Chains A and B, each alone.
Chain A
Amino acid sequence: MFTQFKDWYQNRHDYAKDWKARTGGKVMAYMCTYVPEEILYAADVLPVRVYGSHEASDLTEQHIFGMYCPFCRDCVAQVMEGRYDYADGVMIAQACLHMRQVYSSWEIHKPTEFMYYMPFPIAVESPHARPHLVAEYKTFIEAVEKWTGKKITIDDLDRGIEILNKNRELMRKVYELRLLDNPPLTGVECMHMTSSSQMVDKREHNQALEKLLKELPSRKTDRETGIRLMIVGSECDDIEFMDMVESLNSTFVADDHCTGSRAFWNSVEPEEDRLLAIAKRYLERPPCPTKDTTKNFVRFHHVMEMAKEAKVEGAVIIQQKFCDPHEIDIPLLRKRFEDNGIRTYFLELDVTVPIGQFKIRIEAFLEMLRADELPF
């Protein structure tokens, strides 16, 4: 049922090359989920999010300092390996400095015909954020129009909004099924679905989602749900890790990370000023820790609501090593979980995933959660 999503995820570059050949369109490799994909769809450009490969590489050290996060180092490796050479444009919406360094390396060493750095407000709750972002969008649209030679109309923007909103709405429906006592999908399958949505044409993704939603509610799986877990962190497409965890009689039933729910959770609410509508969506989405600057931590509240709704028994908090925004959040977030009676386990990820080392920790964590099953 999830084969198509897995295939897209695993063969993302082949897909993008094929898409270009089929459509004659341009591909925009992008970093960070604050990039307004609606505008790119309006311009008939395919946004493809840059991911790492989880393979060790000797190409990064000369371009990026060792204390940058493994994800951004992995992304630089992909660029230097030439795996994104099909990209016609490259852009980033500012979130963290680590990813910005990827963009800078790309611009210096492998510039494409269109390189775009989009400033993005940090204090998303500030009253000045909306006009700031709308102004940035206007500048961005001008640049894209110049690049593609195509004027972006209101209808184009509406089309972009509709494609994105449809994708969000369908994935939210799949997420509702994760709340069931016996969810018909695993966390890994869900990860293939959400990650691939950031890699392929969302119109095709939407068709696959519609087909999935016809079959998924009645799906009978041959596995037990086991312990209901939530996975929380930054970028997290560590399929091998999630697969290992779910092989130990547990299931990820909720997530908060930018390769999962955080990227698509809310939709653009229609209003006359399309750019303002899009700006509000990105400013009001479940924030990345780089943007969660309020004292009350908007993200924490959102995460707890998700955890409660999904009847989560334990939370696995994973962090890309040296990811400062998450490093600041994690102690407080763990406390918030623990205060709500949800135990947590924290792991730090590198480019490659040390499955053996992590397995013992996860097994012990799960034993702790099901301590009643052991005789004392």
Chain B
Amino acid sequence: MAEEEKKEYWRWLESRWTSPDIDWKKGKVISAGVDVGSVSTQAVIMVDGQLYAFANMRTGSDSPNSAQNAFNRALEDTNGLTEKDVHYCVGTGYGRVNVPMAQKAITEIACHARGANFMYGPTVRTVLDMGGQDCKAIRIDEKGKVESFLMNDKCAAGTGRGMEVFSDLLTISINDVGQMSMEVEEEPEPVSSTCVIFAKTEATGLLRAGWPKNKVLAAYCRAMAGRVNELLQRVGVVKDFAITGGIAKNIGVVSRVEKLLDMKALPPKYDTQLAGAVGAALFAKGLYEKIKK
């Protein structure tokens, strides 16, 4: 029991990756995007606008360090690529102005829009970014330009942080909560979506009342879906629809959002958490080309 209490169920796996198909030395423009979010930090390196390497790490208490750590991690196993070889870097996310290697900061709204356009294709018109501490509903054009957007406010209910709280409460790994929430015979009523703490209190009561964990999770996933659906309806949902951010990996929330919208989200081809950093790296490429003209 004591061992179970020490375990960090919320902790998701950090990752890194390098494309085996790209030789950066043959590239004309090497650009980078660093997205320092409230929960996770991603560093993406692109060669001529193609995804070459990335790192996805937990954000620490210090934004510059988090950015540097993720950037250094992305540079590992890249056949000698160093920071000096990167022509231009754009910082984005919550800590965008504290990215030491960035020449420019651009908001995560613009970067997620651009990143979603790259990751899901030019047909995407509505992007839902479900991040660590906020959600954004973004309408974009065929180039990935923002047409309108809305962000949640008031509380982290309906965000990744909220899901982490539930993961810890129910002692279920964050990687499994989505799937587990699907294992219910009948969809329960959602818990409160006004406040994470209210939702947690309500869930504690449901557990005491004998609800199984998967049913409680289903109730929370349903609440999250309802909350982001409100945001989406306010911005107006137009096909194609795509989800970015960490929660996009949670089938329990994604499937319920799709059900409420009566619309399928495009299947991801990349790690959904990368969208902001990918968009930043694409802007970095364009900005570098602009100054070189």
Contact = CB atoms under 8 A, between A and B. Distances in A.
A375 interface: yes
A367 B280 CA distance: 13
A371 B146 contact: yes
B149 A375 contact: no
A376 B287 contact: no
A67 interface: no
B153 A364 contact: no
A209 to B, nearest CB: 38
A361 interface: yes
A328 interface: no
Contacts, number: 45
B143 A376 contact: yes
A357 interface: yes
Contacts of A371: 145-146
Interface in B139-190: 143-149, 151, 153
B289 interface: yes
Contact of B283 (A348, A354, A364, A374): A374
A interface SS class: helix
Contact of A367 (B144, B146, B147): B146
Nearest to B94: A360
A159 B2 CA distance: 82
Given A374-B283, A375-B289, A375-B290, A364 B146 contact: yes
A364 B145 contact: no
Interface in A333-372: 343, 348, 354, 357, 360-361, 363-364, 367-368, 371
B109 A364 contact: yes
A376 B286 contact: yes
Interface string B69-112: 00000000000000000000000001000000000001111100
B275 to A, nearest CB: 15
Nearest to B144: A376
B231 to A, nearest CB: 13
B143 A367 contact: no
Interface residues of B, number: 22
Contacts of A361: 151
B106 A360 contact: no
Contacts of B147: 368
A375 B49 CA distance: 13
Contact of A360 (B109, B114, B286, B287): B109
Given A367-B146, A368-B146, A374 B151 contact: no
Given A360-B108, A367-B109, A367-B146, A375 B283 contact: yes
Contacts of B94: 360
A361 B285 CA distance: 24
Contacts of B289: 375
A367 B286 contact: no
A364 B146 CA distance: 9
A367 B107 contact: yes
| Residue of A367, A368, A374, A376 with highest tally of chain B CB at under 10 A | A374
Contacts of B106: 367, 374
Interface in B204-257: none
Interface of B: 94, 106-110, 114, 143-149, 151, 153, 283, 285-287, 289-290
Given A354-B153, A375-B285, 17 more contacts: A360-B94, A360-B109, A360-B151, A361-B151, A364-B110, A364-B149, A367-B107, A367-B110, A368-B145, A374-B106, A374-B286, A375-B283, A375-B287, A375-B289, A376-B114, A376-B144, A376-B286
14 contacts: A343-B148, A354-B153, A360-B108, A364-B107, A367-B107, A367-B146, A368-B110, A368-B147, A368-B148, A374-B110, A374-B283, A375-B285, A376-B114, A376-B286
Nearest first, the 8 closest Cβ-Cβ pairs linking A and B are A375-B286, A364-B109, A364-B107, A376-B143, A368-B146, A363-B107, A367-B110, A371-B145
